[in-house]
Amino acid sequence: MPNSHHNGHDVRDLGMAAAGRKRIEWADRQMPVLRLIRERFAKDLPLKGQRLGACLHVTCETANLLRALKAGGAEVLCCASNPLSTQDDVAAALVNEYGIPVFAIHDEDRNTYYNHLRAVLSRHPTITMDDGADLVSLLHTEFRDQAHEVRASMEETTTGVIRLRAMARDGALKIPVVAVNDAQTKHLFDNRYGTGQSTLDGVIRATGVLIAGSVVVVAGFGWCGRGVASRARGLGADVVVTEVEPIPALEAAMEGFRVMPMEEAAKVGDIFISVTGDRSVLGPSHFSLMKDGAILCNSGHFDVEIDLAYLNDTAEKVERNVTNHVDAYRLKNGRTLYVLGQGRLVNLACAEGHPAQVMDMSFATQAMASQWAATRDPLPVSVHEVPREIENEVASLKLAAMGIRIDTLTEEQKRYLSSWQSGT
Q: Which residues contribute to the site for ligand NAD (CB under 6 A)?
A: 157-159, 187, 191, 195, 219-225, 242-245, 248, 275-278, 281, 299-301, 345, 347
Q: Please identify, using beta-carbon distances, which residue of 307 and 327 lies nearer to ligand NAD.
A: 307
Largest CA distance in the chain: 74
Q: Please identify, using beta-carbon distances, which residue of 71 and 271 lies nearer to ligand NAD.
A: 271
CB of 264 to ligand NAD, least distance (A): 13
Q: How many other CB atoms sit within 10 Å of the CB of residue 106? A: 18
CB of 188 to ligand NAD, least distance (A): 10
The SS3 assignment for 30 reads coil
The SS3 assignment for 336 reads strand
CB of 92 to ligand NAD, least distance (A): 23
Q: Please identify, using beta-carbon distances, which residue of 50 and 347 lies nearer to ligand NAD.
A: 347
CB of 381 to ligand NAD, least distance (A): 23
Residue type, 102: V
CB of 17 to ligand NAD, least distance (A): 26
- CB-based contact 162:134 (threshold 8 Å): no
Angstrom CA distances, 169 to 81, 173, 207, 301, stand at 24, 8, 42, 21
* Angstrom distance (rounded) from CA 206 to CA 273: 14
* Angstrom distance (rounded) from CA 264 to CA 286: 9
Q: Please identify, using beta-carbon distances, which residue of 274 and 336 lies nearer to ligand NAD.
A: 274
- CB-based contact 113:80 (threshold 8 Å): yes
For ligand NAD, which residue has the nearest CB?
222
Strands 258-259 and 238-242, bridge-based pairing = parallel
Q: Please identify, using beta-carbon distances, which residue of 269 and 300 lies nearer to ligand NAD.
A: 300
- CB-based contact 249:335 (threshold 8 Å): no
Q: Please identify, using beta-carbon distances, which residue of 41 and 221 lies nearer to ligand NAD.
A: 221
CB of 396 to ligand NAD, least distance (A): 23
Q: Please identify, using beta-carbon distances, which residue of 211 and 345 lies nearer to ligand NAD.
A: 345
CB of 91 to ligand NAD, least distance (A): 19
Closest CA to 360 of 8, 105, 38: 38
